Structure 1
């Protein structure tokens, strides 16, 4: 008997959690404040983040969350242009008002003024299930913009600066806009080339934000989550990216899509504890409850596993897991699409509800949540497996998880155990990271990328274990003919000072 094997402790998951921001610091120090506005299938959020421009770390200032199902009903004459996965009808006007109210409330709670304290707004949506094609997501983003304007957000806070003269005075020492330009690569990764990404899969922007957010959140841990990496965002729908191992910019070589939190939601909807149509796991989740992870939970998780389908998206599909997708465009862009579904476009979600009814009636709430933790952990492992089989995930790939169905309960520990089974890493805990509020953190990163506000001493871009890519970016942009005029006119000797002084230059 191998006693060393028996005594070996389980790896501890790295879970990124930042401390709260100090209100006085927000007012007196160079903190870049960004609002992330997201209308999702289950929740609508306005999350305010503040990035310390000296250290490059992001803090959560306020998180205001509303249930999307509580949006007001469409009024006479309004056009319903989208539905959530659970069937909640949305109009441009109702979405705009929901965004306005949520944004205003979050600023009031944080004691911040939208017009004077806010520096940038990033909008995103996961409500793509009823769209006919991926590019229709643009109309939804316009509705979000209208809500921001109604809340009092100046239009300039939703577009990138064109020059250093458009940067607020107190942040001009922290921008490199006269050195490098924003070429569309957020946290040094391009979307699928020849497109914005949404032509390939409708929720690609969410995958972009989640990837960037996990990169930022990983700074609070000892995991280096930079390229190459795989991000998995387990919201109601699934999104995420696989990135390549290139300098200075990686390319998106994989996209994740389909159902995620909708799967445990369907199980819970069968219990009778929540609404059978719009109920969510969030309605009954108790963080203090210790889930039962024994044989009963494992057997029920086996039943869920048989219904959940995870695979490379077939070329014939225009939707997968209710998410509009274009496999031909993905193939043209050398992108592998990995989908998660229950039946075909959620056709077997009812079977999951039947499992939930039996599970809760016979075993109770603790076994129910234990089952969901095990099932979600297996989903994560199976997604990684497909990436390995398709040759886009290797032993060099960092893995990051965010979203309610990926980081709540015992899921981080169980996911880490499942990843360990793949034998990808000698130390899986040093290659897998879990991050709260990945989309909001990604919004903070996107805002700074758009305004060339990197932190060379604590970089997000580049490869795992490598240094800042500022010099490489400048050389790349010069070769492409995209270098800013000041850079082209400035001798290289002056550029060296930027690497010595980093972002704290005088």
Structure 2
């Protein structure tokens, strides 16, 4: 796959869809992916053609999470986003409700048109109880819109499926046993290994599906890196019929770039808000031209900031890494490695980045800050891939999918490929990487299909790269159990 082919695929994944061109048929499976994140709360609508297994993003509405209603009773606050926005079950549910309603309204769809709803969160939680509150708020918001509970849980039998979907389901042959896109979740005691495991699961499924649009088979073994506000993702091995999760990612991602703007405007908490007015795509902004002196200042700022950024294998003995509680005992039990990105120790050096960001803003404006953000985030992505390689988990034939705003927008894609090639970390990286926008939403569509056994044997998403559908092996395994 040439670089030209790869980037054409990336543009295709990120293009805007015109409702007049939508072709919703009897084989269309419509999924609403609802995500409450640290920076944004989204409802992304996808349509999967169950005959071909190809998913399209058909609608999207994004709101800033900090625009949530202020709580009337502080005692009801159960947690906060990385930016400090207070969350209550009621106010978060209302934000979710309004986001879903707007996404449906913009595409002239109703809850009856949507077959399934998948809920996820990227908000960092300090405990299982906080995570449960967010999931409950997401569910409440969906119920307030009018989605019945049956559209948020898998159908247990073929008889319960809507008539139009029955001919595409294999529920009478295989059932959902927890594996999404042919990958088993990491096993471990207690509350899990990292609190954003579902986000990593969706990212892995999403980049696999996205690869189909550019002719790339991203089935197992593969690596998915989600660079949203926080870092998530997984590495899957090549086991059959199900791959094993052998590594997770955690820590900071886009939050590092967001720190650059914290002292610029008290009304804006993320670089997303500076660069993306009115939800315009960051990929549409023009090329920047700077003087040699400003370019030198940006390079010096990047070097100074990277002294505080630690991209590494999470060491034993840590109970927290960046914003995430981590369970290293569970990771060891599951024979799983954690990779992470921290700023100082558990975010202690963010203020230093904010000061540097303000200095760059004063000499070059927001364009210079954006340029610096691209340099920083591409550097973090490359260091992460290098760290994976150094731990022996990156082999020559492995493919890598990158999603999330801190890894796919602006100049980041070009810079990541350029740096990987210059440092000889990956041979011909343009043939090994794919950049997918809306990876979590695509992953939600895949999860919804897995939960209802809506497979496409002629174009499978599980199993090994280049191999056949694993349904027969799954059937035999489940019968043995």
TM-score, L = length of structure 2: 0.91
Selected match of 2:118 from 122, 127, 135: 122
Where 2:167 maps in the other structure, the secondary structure is helix
TM-superposed CA distance for 1:297, in Å, is 3.3
1:490 corresponds in structure 2 to none
2:64 corresponds in structure 1 to 67
2:311 corresponds in structure 1 to 310
1:142 corresponds in structure 2 to 136
**Where do 1:235-250 residues align within 5 Å?**
235-250=228-243
CA contact (8 A) 2:78 2:130 kept: no
Distance 1:195 1:138 in 2: 18
Where 1:233 maps in the other structure, the secondary structure is strand
Residues 70/39 of structure 1: CA separation in 2 closer, same or farther (3 Å cut): same
2:10 corresponds in structure 1 to 15
Q: Does 1:44 align with 2:30?
A: no
**Where do 1:443-458 residues align within 5 Å?**
443-458=444-459
TM-superposed CA distance for 1:182, in Å, is 1.0
Selected match of 2:174 from 174, 180, 199: 180
Distance 1:422 1:183 in 2: 42
**Where do 1:374-413 residues align within 5 Å?**
374-413=375-414
**Which range moved further: 66-75 or 11-20?**
11-20
Selected match of 2:272 from 269, 275, 281: 281
Q: Which runs of 5+ in 2 are unaligned?
A: 277-281
1:81 corresponds in structure 2 to 78
Q: CA RMSD in A?
A: 2.3
Residues 107/320 of structure 1: CA separation in 2 closer, same or farther (3 Å cut): same
Distance 1:52 1:369 in 2: 38
Where 1:174 maps in the other structure, the secondary structure is coil
CA contact (8 A) 1:11 1:428 kept: no
Q: Which runs of 5+ in 1 are unaligned?
A: 1-7, 482-506
TM-superposed CA distance for 1:247, in Å, is 1.0
**Which range moved further: 34-43 or 283-292?**
283-292
Q: Does 1:260 align with 2:253?
A: yes
CA contact (8 A) 2:116 2:448 kept: yes
TM-superposed CA distance for 1:135, in Å, is 6.4
Q: Does 1:222 align with 2:187?
A: no
Matched residue count = 467
**Which range moved further: 435-444 or 139-148?**
139-148
Selected match of 1:204 from 192, 197, 206: 197
Residues 108/36 of structure 1: CA separation in 2 closer, same or farther (3 Å cut): same
Distance 2:233 2:153 in 1: 24
Distance 1:396 1:24 in 2: 37
Distance 1:55 1:281 in 2: 35
Residues 11/218 of structure 1: CA separation in 2 closer, same or farther (3 Å cut): closer
**Where do 1:96-175 residues align within 5 Å?**
96-114=93-111, 116-128=112-124, 131-134=125-128, 136-175=130-169
From the CA coordinates, give the structure whose radius of gyration is larger: 1
Where 1:381 maps in the other structure, the secondary structure is helix
CA contact (8 A) 2:188 2:333 kept: no
CA contact (8 A) 1:321 1:340 kept: yes
CA contact (8 A) 2:235 2:246 kept: yes
